[in-house]
Amino acid sequence: MQLELERRAERSKRMALLSPVIALGLTLITGAILFAGLGQNPLTALYVFFIDPLTASWSLQELVVKATPLILIGCGLAVCFLSNNWNIGAEGQFTAGALAGSMLPILLPGFETFATLPLMLLMGIAGGMAWAAIPAFLKVRFGTNEILTSLMLVYIAQLLLDWLVRGPWRDPDGFNFPESRLFSDAAILPPLADGRMHVGAIFAVVTVLVLSVVLLKTLKGFEIRVLGQAPRAGRFAGFSRNRMVWFAFLLAGGLAGLAGISEVSGSINQLTPVISPGYGFTAIIVAFLGRLNPIGIFFSGFLLALTYLGGEAAQVSLGVSDKTTRVFQGLVLFYVLACDTLILYRIRIGRSAVPGKGGEHGRV
């Protein structure tokens, strides 16, 4: 049997809506096969992974805690990707924001006023923006590939964090454990319930609403889309490509930095060698699964957060590896990208390719 891809005359709106649904269905089927291969009952394993984390109040709060940084970072990355700027270093900007915002409670532990928390948040945003400004400057000034430069800065930020918590920022009363001192009450984000859910969740909701208006109702949103889809037309319209590079990277870096300091201040309350399970990388999946739309990112953020919770539940209940979470996240991204092909192409079965008639053809 021969499968062919035939180019559609125009984008399929129906497949644009169905593609994420098909991708999730294929992910569940593949996950069931994966669990069966590991000797687990597929239905029981999928229940533990995707349903069980939603049955208790504390786990629902944990879902919000894990979705918050994904949504914040995903919204910033959506602006980058829409404007054709490939920022892959949100994980580093997340870490830089956490480091910058944590300077106050670690270096000045006696500074406990009403201004402590606002200053920490502003420093966190500034830290993320400063880290994102590096690949933006290199791209504008020297034409470097922002994928490589932003990605390499991730590892620099992580090594910087590791060095600080094992060296100059290590808690003097921490019995040599590699961690900073605990933040004071004035440096902790207020909780929203009796669990770990904190005010950072409100930041995510506000970001989604504001960015939705900016992208759909303002000239800046139009500029972002035009420069991303038709750069030449954007230049004729008077839009600056370099200014858009700066805008997209600084916005994404600021939101990643806000996510970083919110995570440290609201959930961990100190710096440790590892402060993220990979939020910056997972947010790339969140952005694409949400169709680079802030509302879509809001829901996809919760879905990917569920994979973190489900992975932890599967480790405890089924004894599977923690790498299962990454496998599911990878499957989601793979199937989303694969199914997106159906937006521009339709599948033909059992026909030979006829170049020049009925559009472009390709065999798979």
What is the residue-wise DSSP string for 90-132? HHHHHHHHHHHHHHHHHH-TT--STTHHHHHHHHHHHHHHHHH
What is the tens place of the pLDDT at every residue in 314-338? 888 878 777 777 788 788 888 888 8
Higher pLDDT, 273 or 324: 273
* Of the candidates 97, 78, 58, 74, the residue with the CA atom closest to the CA atom of residue 263: 97
- pLDDT in the model for residue 354: 52
Task: Tell me the CB-side half-sphere exposure of residue 174, using CA atoms within 13 A.
Answer: 18
- pLDDT in the model for residue 351: 57
**Mean pLDDT, the chain, whole residue set:** 88
Q: Is the pLDDT of residue 91 over 50?
A: yes
* CA distances in angstroms from 257 to 118, 219, 307, 312, listed in the order given: 14, 26, 23, 26
Amino acid code (one letter) for 4: E
Ranges 45-49, 114-118, 190-194, most confident: 114-118
Q: Is the pLDDT of residue 352 over 70?
A: no
* Of the candidates 265, 304, 223, the residue with the CA atom closest to the CA atom of residue 97: 265
What does the DSSP 8-state code read for residue 6?
E
Q: Work out the average pLDDT over 348-358.
A: 58
Q: Work out the average pLDDT over 74-98.
A: 95
Q: Work out the average pLDDT over 277-306.
A: 91
- In whole angstroms, give the CA distance from residue 158 to residue 275: 9
| pTM assigned to the model | 0.89
Task: Tell me the CB-side half-sphere exposure of residue 287, using CA atoms within 13 A.
Answer: 24
* % of the chain residues with pLDDT over 70: 96
Packing angle between helix 57-82 and helix 241-263, nearest 10 degrees?
160
- In whole angstroms, give the CA distance from residue 85 to residue 280: 16
Q: Indicate the SS3 state at residue 3.
A: strand
